[in-house]
Amino acid sequence: MKNFLQVKNLKFSFSKSKDKPIIFIPDFSLQSGQKIFLHGPSGCGKSTFLEIISGVVGADEGEVIIAEQDLQTLTPTQKDRFRSEHISYIFQSFNLIPYLNIFENITLPLYFKKSHKSFKDVQSEVETLCRRLGILNLLNQSVSQLSVGQQQRVAVARALISRPQLILADEPTSALDFDHRDQFLKLLFEVCSEKNMTLIFVSHDHSLKALFDQAIAFKDINRMDLI
């Protein structure tokens, strides 16, 4: 089976110190539908790694291939487009836009995609997704009226509306209490499994490890010792 994500000889350094890379990943790959848990101490480069995968940050050397597309060969604009077509990001804070209502927040990613769907299609898709997430009755409300639990569902709905193949979650649960964290993960896993989405989940919280297909310490793939 072909790998969905393939990283080879990736080198990255902050522009000022080209000679001192902070990331060197000789070989890392994921298959479609895999859910992995990536952990490591703060500042070890996990978030930067996610940004390279999503194409926001360019690598110095090496190749990043997602869905048979080599990111390094794309222009910044093409990368942005590729990201909006294939990848969704979920952050620690839900980062909903406060002055848009729930429906507008959820559909926001669609406006940056190349192919616009008709309003009717979008409407029915949002409704299906929100019924599934139990937030159908909230669509016309403003963000400030929602509870934390409702906000996280909206964030998940927003991450899923563009039908991404890869979800990058950067410490999405660190601001949540125990109950909300469990609900959130359950929801995320269910939807990922349904749509066969690949998930990279970055966290400090080792208690979550067991829930994933695979747990990887970042230092095991980031082989700085080999340089």
Partner 1 sequence: MIFLKLAFKSIRNRLFITSLTVTSIALSVFLLLSVEKTRRLARDGFTNAISQTDLVVGARTGPLNLVLYSIFNMGSASNNVSWKTYQEIKNDPAVDWVIPYSLGDSHRGFRVVATDENFYKYYRFRSDQQVEFLEGKAAQTTWDVVIGSQVQKKLKYSLSDEIIVTHGVTKGEGVVKHDDKPFRVVGILKPTGTAIDQTVYITLQGMVAMHETEESHAHHDHDHDHEIHNGDISAFFLRAKARTQTLSLQRKINEYTQEPLTAVIPGMALAELWNGLSQVETVLQIISIMTLGIGLVAMLGTLLASLNERRREMSILRSLGAGPSHVALLLVFESFILTLLGVLLGVVLQLSLFYFLAGWLEKAFGFYFFGSSLALSEVGYLIIILLAGAMVGLVPAVKSSRAALKDGLTAKI
Residues interacting with partner 1, by CB under 8 A?
47-48, 51, 54, 56-57, 76-77, 80-81, 83-85, 89, 91-93, 95, 97-100, 104, 108-109, 111-113, 158, 162, 170-171
Ramachandran class of 163: left when φ > 0, alpha when ψ lies in -120 to 50, beta otherwise: left
The helix or strand, by DSSP H or E, that contains position 166, with its residue range, turns out to be strand 166-170
Q: d(Cα 180, Cα 164) in Å, to the nearest integer?
A: 24
Residue 113: count other Cβ atoms within 10 Å of its Cβ.
14
Question: Cα dihedral angle (35, 87, 56, 222), rounded to 10 degrees?
Answer: 20
Least separation in angstroms between residue 173's CB and partner 1 is 13
C-alpha distances (whole Å) from 70 to each of 6, 15, 167 are 9, 22, 18
Nearer to partner 1, 35 or 158 (CB): 158
Cβ-based neighbours of 165, under 8 Å, separated by 6 or more: 4, 32, 67, 86, 87, 197, 198
The two three-digit tokens of residue 171, written as one number? 């410490």
Residue placing its CB nearer to partner 1 in the complex, 29 or 84: 84
Looking at beta carbons only, is 145 or 214 nearer to partner 1?
A: 145
Nearest approach in angstroms of CB 197 to partner 1 is 16
Beta carbon nearer to partner 1, 27 or 99: 99
Q: How far is the CB of 35 from partner 1 (least distance, A)?
A: 20
The least distance separating partner 1 from the CB of residue 41, rounded to whole angstroms, comes to: 15
Nearer to partner 1, 26 or 58 (CB): 58
Minimum CB separation from partner 1 for residue 90, in Å? Answer: 9
